[in-house]
């Protein structure tokens, strides 16, 4: 059977590393608010185009910063507030929810086949809330285009100290113009820029093409109701998804806060742009393969989660509702795929 949406009333303290501050990750629960089932936006909704973060103009940036500022100003217990938004990630990733019917088993959306769809919905609702806050239904989050040379640094828009997009808990040695290492394992390679770019492109080729020929290899291993968490990540989840988290977080913090630990990663606004690219590359991977690359298994298709939407209503979503981004009325700026022929 599929993993069911958690019962919000049964949220408890997460399992955090000992050195992490005691953190409550449970989303606001409002007794009496009834859960609605997700319906895709009407087909007439304008398509939102997510831009590459390193290519946005000043007008877009002003709008995005205003939206994040407003989100940060909402009362902490408003389900749409920035505080609540990052907690959602912590709750689904650090064991704050039990599986419905299995009180000894947590819900974990990483290291399994729920990774891509869960994060797609998470970013989707975050984006819809930001759009609502500025009264712009066409607002689309930027994506961190780390798979192309022009996007291989922390996007400059996040590095401005006076911006609401800034987060001080990041690695000071990994600020622009330092290039990201998509294979980062804790030490900087210190190789010439051209070489780092080539290495990153080869890693992309491996993760998207040569090592991702089968659905489980890319999307991750089956995880059903009653299963122990962490059956196995798709290779992309570890590299480059995980390595970019690790590279961005602050090594002076006990757990690489913010980006390098589950509980804290979504406190950094760049999280949503990092996951924009992860989401985009799922779409690209799917598009590169003829035939159906989705799991046909109903335990995947009917796995369900809960998110608060832009009206602060709890919405039950199923994996099958998110497979086509056009149905969700968004797409990505076309920036090319420079790794497509980067066969080592
Ligand atoms: Cu839920 Cu990038 O991790």
Query: Which of the following is catalytic: 54, 110, 174, 274?
Result: 110
Tokens of 184: 């980062």
Contact 170, 243 (CB under 8 A): no
Separation of CA 292 and ligand 1 centre (Å): 25
Q: Is 245 a catalytic residue?
A: yes
pTM of the predicted model, to two decimals? 0.98
Maximum distance among all Cα pairs of the chain, rounded to whole angstroms: 59
Q: Is 54 a catalytic residue?
A: no
- Specify the pLDDT at position 120: 98
Which residues does residue 174 pair with via DSSP β-bridges, in sequence order? none
Rounded CA gap, 182 and 45, in Å? 36
Contact 285, 212 (CB under 8 A): yes
User: Is the Cβ atom of 93 under 6 angstroms away from ligand 1?
Assistant: yes
Q: Is 126 a catalytic residue?
A: no
Q: Is 241 a catalytic residue?
A: yes
Rounded CA gap, 159 and 251, in Å? 17
Q: How far apart are the first and last CA of the chain?
A: 41
DSSP-derived letter for residue 52 is: B
Rounded CA gap, 70 and 82, in Å? 9
Q: Which atom of ligand 1 is least distant from the CA of 110? A: 1
CA distances from 22 to 13, 19, 25, 109, 263 (A): 9, 9, 10, 22, 11
Digit-by-digit pLDDT tens for the chain (344 residues) are 999 999 988 899 898 988 998 888 998 888 778 999 999 999 999 999 999 999 999 999 999 999 999 999 999 999 999 999 999 999 999 999 999 999 999 999 999 999 999 999 999 999 999 999 999 999 999 999 999 999 999 999 999 999 999 999 999 999 999 999 999 999 999 999 999 999 999 999 999 999 999 999 999 999 999 999 999 999 999 999 999 999 999 999 999 999 999 999 999 999 999 999 999 999 999 999 988 899 999 999 999 999 999 999 999 999 999 999 999 999 999 999 999 998 88
- Specify the pLDDT at position 292: 80
Separation of CA 272 and ligand 1 centre (Å): 9
User: Is the Cβ atom of 110 under 6 angstroms away from ligand 1?
Assistant: yes
Separation of CA 343 and ligand 1 centre (Å): 27
- Specify the pLDDT at position 290: 80
Which residues does residue 200 pair with via DSSP β-bridges, in sequence order? none
User: Is the Cβ atom of 245 under 6 angstroms away from ligand 1?
Assistant: yes
Q: Which atom of ligand 1 is least distant from the CA of 122? A: 1
Separation of CA 290 and ligand 1 centre (Å): 28
CATH of the domain spanning 8-332, picked from 1.10.1280.10, 2.60.40.3080, 3.40.190.10, 3.30.2080.10: 1.10.1280.10
Q: Which atom of ligand 1 is least distant from the CA of 92? A: 1
Contact 283, 332 (CB under 8 A): yes
DSSP-derived letter for residue 22 is: P
Q: Please, where are the H alpha helices in the chain?
A: 58-73, 82-93, 115-133, 193-205, 215-219, 235-236, 243-248, 262-265, 270-288, 298-301
- Give me the half-sphere count of Cα atoms (radius 13 Å) on the Cβ side of residue 36: 11
Rounded CA gap, 98 and 91, in Å? 10
CB-CB neighbours of 107 under 10 Å: 25
Pick from 33, 21, 221, 17: nearest CA to 114: 221
Q: Which atom of ligand 1 is least distant from the CA of 278? A: 2
Query: Which of the following is catalytic: 262, 271, 272, 305?
Result: 262
Pick from 83, 256, 247, 89: nearest CA to 169: 256
Query: Which of the following is catalytic: 38, 82, 115, 119?
Result: 119
User: Is the Cβ atom of 87 under 6 angstroms away from ligand 1?
Assistant: no
Contact 267, 253 (CB under 8 A): no
Q: Is 174 a catalytic residue?
A: no
Question: Atom 3 (ligand 1): residue with closest C-alpha?
Answer: 262
What sign for the dihedral angle of Cα 171, 173, 178, 184? negative
CA distances from 61 to 53, 56, 221 (A): 9, 7, 38
């Amino acid at each position: 059977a599929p993993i069911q949406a958690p019962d919000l009333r049964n949220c408890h303290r997460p399992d955090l590393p000992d050195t992490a501050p005691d953190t409550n990750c449970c989303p606001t629960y409002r007794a009496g608010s009834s859960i609605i089932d997700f319906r895709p936006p009407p087909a007439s909704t304008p398509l939102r185009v997510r831009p590459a973060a390193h290519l946005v103009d000043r007008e877009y940036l002003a709008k995005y910063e205003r939206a994040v500022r407003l989100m940060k100003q909402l009362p902490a217990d408003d389900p749409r507030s920035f505080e609540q938004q990052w907690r959602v990630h912590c709750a689904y990733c650090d064991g704050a929810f039990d599986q419905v019917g299995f009180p000894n088993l947590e819900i974990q959306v990483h290291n399994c086949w729920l990774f891509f769809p869960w994060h797609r919905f998470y970013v989707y609702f975050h984006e819809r809330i930001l759009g609502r806050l500025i009264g712009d239904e066409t607002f689309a989050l930027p994506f961190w285009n780390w798979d192309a040379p022009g996007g291989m640094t922390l996007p400059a828009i996040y590095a401005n100290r006076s911006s609401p997009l800034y987060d001080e808990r990041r690695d000071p040695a990994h600020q622009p113009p330092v290039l990201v290492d998509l294979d980062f394992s804790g030490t900087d390679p210190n190789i010439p820029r051209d070489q780092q770019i080539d290495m990153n492109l080869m890693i992309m080729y491996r993760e998207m093409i040569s090592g991702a020929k089968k659905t489980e290899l890319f999307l991750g291993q089956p995880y059903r109701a009653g299963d122990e968490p962490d059956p196995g990540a798709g290779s992309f989840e570890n590299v480059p998804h995980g390595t970019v988290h690790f590279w961005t977080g602050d090594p002076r913090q006990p757990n690489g806060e913010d980006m390098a630990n589950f509980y804290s990663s979504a406190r950094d606004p760049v999280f949503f742009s990092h996951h924009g690219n992860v989401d985009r590359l799922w779409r690209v991977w799917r598009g590169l393969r003829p035939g159906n690359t989705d799991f046909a298994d109903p335990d995947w298709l009917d796995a369900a989660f809960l998110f608060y939407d832009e009206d602060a209503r709890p919405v039950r979503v199923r994996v099958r509702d998110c497979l086509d981004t056009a149905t969700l009325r968004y797409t990505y700026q076309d920036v090319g795929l420079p790794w497509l022929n980067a066969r080592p």
